[in-house]
């Protein structure tokens, strides 16, 4: 077994069609229990870091809802944008919990719930933002959100290229 990004990514993909084989391969690793505990601790630390990053993205999202809506002539308040983020997180947390439960006995249904939660996210965000800023069309708000997301991806990609970041070769 290798611990290269490409190999690990392949293992993750293989976990879906052949979970028992991957489990056997992982169980057979010659790794001491102490090391396994350290790796588990590392996973907790990484999850915590991702939680902090999510918090930063939520904060940026709140300001984006507020400022971009105002730039488009909306009348929303910053408090409204914060409330939108809180409610979205609350609703999506419920969906994540239900998805987790379904993943234990109905994985296909869990997958459907994940897709539904993505659709629900944009539905709620578009309608709440339209209501907050006094816009008539939630559809135009949705198109604006998608446009801003696409532009943000291009801008971030451009910045990464300027910084010299190259894609990881997967080798799969």
Task: Give the integer Cα–Cα distance in Å for 22 and 124.
Answer: 38
pLDDT of amino acid 172:
60
Residue 83 vs residues 50, 80, 86, 131: alpha-carbon distances, Å:
22, 5, 5, 12
pLDDT of amino acid 171:
63
What's the gap between Cα 123 and its chain centre?
Answer: 16
Q: Which residue has the tokens 């997958």?
A: 111
pLDDT in tens, 32-48: 999 999 999 999 999 99
pLDDT of amino acid 1:
66
Weakly modelled stretches of the chain, pLDDT under 70: 1, 171-172
Q: Look up residue 64 and give its two tokens.
A: 């984006």
Task: Give the integer Cα–Cα distance in Å for 137 and 6.
Answer: 44
pLDDT of amino acid 79:
94
Task: Give the integer Cα–Cα distance in Å for 5 and 170.
Answer: 7
pLDDT of amino acid 7:
82
Output the pTM of the full model: 0.72
pLDDT of amino acid 116:
92
């Amino acid at each position: 077994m290798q611990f290269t990004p490409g190999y690990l990514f392949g293992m993750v993909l293989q976990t879906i069609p052949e979970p028992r084989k991957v489990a056997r391969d992982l169980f057979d690793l010659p790794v001491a229990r102490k090391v396994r505990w350290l790796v588990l601790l590392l996973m907790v630390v990484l999850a915590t870091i991702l939680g902090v990053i999510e918090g930063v993205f939520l904060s940026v999202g709140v300001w984006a809802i507020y400022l971009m809506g105002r730039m488009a002539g909306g009348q929303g308040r910053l408090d409204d944008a914060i409330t939108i983020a809180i409610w979205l997180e609350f609703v999506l947390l419920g969906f994540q919990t239900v998805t987790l439960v379904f993943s234990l006995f109905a994985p296909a249904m869990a997958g459907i719930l994940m897709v539904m939660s993505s659709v629900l996210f944009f539905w709620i965000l578009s309608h709440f933002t339209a209501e907050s800023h006094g816009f008539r069309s939630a559809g135009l708000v949705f198109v604006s959100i998608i446009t801003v997301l696409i532009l943000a991806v291009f801008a971030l990609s451009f910045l990464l290229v300027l910084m010299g970041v190259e894609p990881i070769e997967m080798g799969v």
